[in-house]
Amino acid sequence: MSKTEMNRKGWQTKTLGALATLSGRIGWKGLTAKEYTVDGPLFLSVHSLNYGDYVDFRDAFHISRQRFEESPEIVLQSGDVLICKDGAGIGKLGIVGALPFESTINSSLLLIRAGKEILPKYLYRCLSSPYFQQIVLSKLNGATTPHLYQRDITEFPIHFPSVKEQERIVAILDEAFEGIATAKANADKNLQNAQEFIDSWMQCQFTSGGKQWIRVRLGDTGASISTGPFGTMLHKADYVEDGIPLVNPMNIEGSTIVPSSKMMVSPSTKKRLESYILRKGDVVIARRGELGRCAVVTKEEEGWLCGTGSFFVRLSNRIDEHYFTALFRSRALRNVLDQNSIGTTMSNLNHGILNALELFLPPVQEQREIMARADELTAEIDRLRTNNQQRIKQLDGLKQSLLNQAFTGKL
């Protein structure tokens, strides 16, 4: 819609500087992090713009009253709009609601205070719109150090109707965005409930029992438990950029094994460490740190090496490897590991703890049936998660569309 068409509908176009006052901290005036205080006026950064529409005051720093009063032009008031003008969060916005305490801003933020012709919430919504964000991007394109200069922000054109019409637009957007937020929250809650159901179902499978279930120590099942080579067996010269990956705790992510280019050894080193070569079906267990971290070695990881921070368990035919990893990651077994782990600064496992670990096991065929059902439920969760992501993307698109309509006079 052209400017002329807007004016025919009673809209006006003025620069942001003509509609609002803009104030920023002039440098740091020598202020450093060493001057932060335990209490006193709040000192906000871009972190406060990360929690929705309204500026959030959690985790804000404090400064002395002297430092606070030296910049009265940036003392916050309810209705002020803040924008991040440099750094990683450039373009982020927030509007000040109720002030919990006297507050000011650091040099990465700019304070925008609406004048009589424009409502603070209308101004905030306008600056949040795709129209404004496109202007922000145009100012950043080609910049080696992204920065929004106050003189440029002052010249941003703002299209606005009468105050009464602004109130109508803000009310429509607030109602619509509340509905979008509720829809997002419900989608997330449904996903969370589904995941909690699977977790609860799995816990029941591990404890339900039956006539053929047995209690047995891991060391008595015929499984072999080995640890990776001690650090003295590997030297800096053994590591290469493109070689055979080592599997340490950091490489175990969820139920998968992810290699690191920084932890690889040459084929000659692998030959020297033959007894630590992993086979398909082995279970790699983190020796330290997050207890219960483990993963099954697949065909893709076969031939990799167990690292010094891990154990690898070669199970007997009495235990299905996927059932074992699910059981090992279960809440009940993690509690047992926590109670029996060693170490003061970091939890550690050893051969004795793993050998003595008591397992409650059904027959192998039943183990596999349980895991097959678990896989079906997990697939359902994955489908729900995908649908959830698509739904949220659609809701975000709707939000942007409403903002675009609102500030081009089409709402």
pLDDT tens per residue across span 59-115: 899 999 999 998 999 999 999 999 998 877 888 999 999 999 999 999 889 999 999
Domain of residue 7 covers 3-160
Mean of per-residue pLDDT scores for the chain: 89
Percent of the residues in the chain that have a pLDDT greater than 70, as a whole number: 94
Task: Taking residues 357-373, report their average pLDDT.
Answer: 94
> Is 70 exceeded by the pLDDT of residue 283?
yes
Residue 176 has which token pair?
Answer: 């619509």
> Where residue 141 falls among pLDDT bands split at 50, 70, 90?
low
What's the total number of domains in the chain? Answer: 2
Q: Would you say 27 and 176 are in contact if contact means Cβ atoms under 8 Å apart?
A: no
> Where residue 7 falls among pLDDT bands split at 50, 70, 90?
very low
> Is 60 exceeded by the pLDDT of residue 359?
yes
Q: How many angstroms separate the Cα of 303 from the Cα of each of 246, 279, 281, 282, 299?
A: 10, 6, 12, 11, 9
The pLDDT tens digits of the residues spanning 222-233 come to 899 998 876 557
Percent of the residues in the chain that have a pLDDT greater than 90, as a whole number: 58
Q: How many residues belong to the chain?
A: 411
The pLDDT tens digits of the residues spanning 237-258 come to 888 888 999 999 999 998 899 9
**pTM for this one?**
0.69
pLDDT at position 92: 92
Residue where one domain finishes, among candidates 361, 381, 400? 361
Residue where one domain finishes, among candidates 346, 361, 376? 361
Are both 37 and 138 inside the same structural domain? Answer: yes
Task: Taking residues 355-376, report their average pLDDT.
Answer: 94
Residue 189 lies in a domain: no
> Where residue 347 falls among pLDDT bands split at 50, 70, 90?
confident
Q: Which residues pair with 22 in a beta bridge?
A: 112
Residue 346 lies in a domain: yes
Residue 307 lies in a domain: yes
Q: What is the CATH number of the domain that holds 332?
A: 3.90.220.20
Are both 9 and 154 inside the same structural domain? Answer: yes
> Is 80 exceeded by the pLDDT of residue 53?
yes
Are both 150 and 299 inside the same structural domain? Answer: no
> Is 90 exceeded by the pLDDT of residue 297?
yes
